[in-house]
Amino acid sequence: MDKVVPSAAAAVADIPDGASLAVGGFGLCGIPSALIQALLEKGVSGLQVTSNNCGVDDWGLGLLLREKRISRMTSSYVGENKEFARQYLSGELEVELTPQGTLAERLRAGGSGIPAFFTRTGVGTQVADGGVPWRYDDAGNVSVSSPAKEVRDFDGHDYVLERAITTDFGLVRAWKGDRHGNLVFRDSAQNFNPLCAMAGRVSIAEVEELVEPGELAPGEVHLPGIFVQRVVLLSPDEAAEKRIERRTVRTKEA
C-alpha cells in the first residue's frame, strides 16, 4: 500500500514517447512542476496532453512545449503562453479547444467510468456543429477541424454529446498526501487536479507534505488513494517555488 517513490524521475520513468497525459493545475496554480521537469529531462516526445492551459513560455507545460515535446493539446485556455499560440497558428501543434466546464466534466466522467454525457454548453456553435480549427498548415489554412457532434432534444432543449477523457497517465500536485495516495488540495488547486488524477490510468502525485496513513481525517481528503498509484515528496525548495502567471500591480497612493 506504500505508494511513495524516491524521486520525480523515478515516478515518470515508464512514461513513453506518445503517451497521453492529464495534467492538473490552473494557470500556474497547482501545477505538478517537478514531474513536468522530470519529463523534460527524460526526453520524451510526442506527448498528447489534456490540461486547462499550457503553462507559460518559461514554466510548467510551457517548458515541454518550447522543446517541441507536445504534439497535441486539449485545453480550454491559451493564456499567457505566446509559444502555444505560435505553434498552434503555424501548424506545429494540434489543439482541441474545449469549454472549460465541459473539459472538467469530460475528465470527471472518464475517471468515473462514464463514456459520454449530454450538455447544453456549445449548442448552436461550432463546438456542436463542427469546424473548430484543430490544426493549421504552414500557410495558415485549416488542415484539421473538429467533427460535428450528436445533438439530441431533452424536454424541449437541445444538448450536445461530449465524450469522456481518459489518459495513460495523470500528473497532479497536492498540498498534503499520505503513503496510501490520499490527497488534500489547497484552494484553487482543487479545480483540475482531482479530475486529472481520476482520468489517468496511472496517476502520479507530487506532494508538498507527506504524512502517515491515518493522519488525514477522512473528511478532509479531497481525492481517495484509489485514484493514485505513485506519490513523490517535494523538497522544501520545490514546494516553495510557486510562480504567478500574470502579476498586476498599481502605484501605491501617498
| Residue 123 belongs to some domain of the structure | yes
Regarding whether 136 and 89 lie in a shared domain, the answer is no
The pLDDT, as a whole number, for residue 248 is 84
Radius of gyration of the chain (CA): 19
Q: Check whether residue 234 and residue 220 sit in a common domain.
A: yes
- Domain holding 229, by residue range, is 8-115+165-240
How confident is the model over 185-229, as pLDDT tens digits?
999 899 999 999 999 999 999 999 999 999 999 999 999 999 999
Asked if 71 and 142 sit in the same domain, the reply is: no
Give the C-alpha separation, 192 to 100, whole Å: 10
pLDDT at 254 over 80: no
Residue 48 placed within a domain: yes
Q: Is the pLDDT of residue 243 over 90?
A: no
Mean pLDDT of 18-32: 95
Q: Does residue 138 fall inside a structural domain?
A: yes
Q: Is the pLDDT of residue 79 over 80?
A: no
User: What's the whole-model pTM score?
Assistant: 0.93
In this structure, the answer to whether residues 88 and 202 fall within a common structural domain is yes
pLDDT tens column, 146-191? 999 999 999 999 999 999 999 999 999 999 999 999 999 999 899 9
Q: Residue 184 and residue 225: Cα distance in Å, rounded?
A: 11
Shared domain for 156 and 170, answered yes or no, is no
Structure confidence by residue, pLDDT tens digits, 97-121:
999 999 999 999 999 999 999 999 9
- Check if the beta carbon of residue 13 is closer than 8 Å to that of residue 158: no
Domain count, the chain: 2
Residue ranges with strand state E in the chain: 20-23, 47-50, 70-75, 94-97, 116-119, 133-136, 142-145, 151-154, 157-163, 167-178, 183-184, 200-211, 230-233
Residue 211 lies in a domain: yes
- Please check whether residues 158 and 180 belong to one and the same domain: no
For residue 47, give the 3-state DSSP assignment: strand
Quick one: pLDDT at residue 8?
97
What CATH number does residue 38 fall under? 3.40.1080.10
Burial of 51 (0-12, 13-18, 19+ CB in 10 A): buried
Confidence band of 2 (pLDDT split at 50, 70, 90): very high
Domain identity same for 134 and 14: no
| Mean pLDDT taken over the chain | 95
Domain assignment present for 248:
no
If asked whether residues 35 and 150 sit together in one domain, one would say: no
CA dihedral 64, 69, 75, 79 (to 10 degrees): 40
| Distant-in-sequence, close-in-space partners of 252: CB < 8 Å, separation ≥ 6 | none
Q: What is the pLDDT of residue 19?
A: 98
Are 97 and 201 members of one domain?
A: yes
Residue 179 corresponds to which cell in the numbers above? 503513503
Please tell me whether residues 54 and 150 are part of one structural domain. no
How confident is the model at residue 252, as a pLDDT?
84
* Residue ending a domain, choose from 104, 139, 163: 163
Q: Is residue 222 helix, strand or coil?
A: coil
Residue 58 has pLDDT above 80, yes or no: yes
Residues 204/172, Cβ–Cβ less than 8 Å: yes
The answer to whether residues 48 and 88 belong to one domain is yes
* In a shared domain, residues 76 and 180: yes
Q: How far is CA 147 from CA 122, 130, 162, in A?
A: 13, 5, 12
